[in-house]
Amino acid sequence: MEASVSDIHCYPSRPHDFVEPLFATQESRSEIAEHLLRASWLSRASGMPEKSGSIAHCIEETVQLQRYAGGHVEIVRTGVRRCSWRRRRIVEVLMRWRDVRWWWSDEDQVDRLLFRVIVSGHSSLGGAVVDLALDRSGEWTLVGIVD
């Protein structure tokens, strides 16, 4: 989406008639966020026509899940030569959902089960939240957006 710096500067930072609270609350912050999200010049990585760009890129990487005795599961990244981590243990499944969007399009159709999980971190870094997709062939994919 094309937008000039001037366009961005002209966009008001608060919604019309917004009363600034003395202390910001969750509601007031979300009202501002909603307002900013409505800006015509704002685009999200998920809406990008390409899978990567100058400011963000989407990950869609085949991974393996290894199960160990005792029940714990690890994500193993094998397909990428350089990456920040190779193996992470799944600590918790936060969310699980189905995604069958664009089933009517031969090119874009999706049919998968998604899991949002917390993976363990290195001692120096905290854990991370990642999405894993399981498609009909039983293949796992690491999906996510990095802005």
Task: Specify the stretch interacting with another protein by CB under 8 A; choose among 4-12, 65-73, 75-83, 98-106.
Answer: 98-106
Decide: is 97 part of the binding site for another protein (CB under 8 A). yes
* Residue 135: Cβ-neighbour burial (10 angstroms; 0-12, 13-18, 19+): middle
Decide: is 44 part of the binding site for another protein (CB under 8 A). no
Q: Quote the CA–CA distance of 102 and 105 in Å, as a whole number.
A: 5
Token pair for 34: 């909603």
Query: Could you tell me the smallest distance in angstroms from the CB atom of residue 125 to another protein?
Result: 25
Pick the closest to residue 91 from 59, 123, 129, 133 (CA basis).
Answer: 129
Ramachandran quadrant class, 102 (left: phi over 0; alpha: psi -120 to 50; beta: rest): left
Write out the binding residues for another protein, residues 19-38 only, by CB under 8 A: 27, 30-31, 34
Residue with smaller CB distance to another protein, 88 or 112: 112
Query: Could you tell me the smallest distance in angstroms from the CB atom of residue 45 to another protein?
Result: 16
Contact positions vs another protein (CB under 8 A): 27, 30-31, 34, 95-101, 103-104, 110, 114
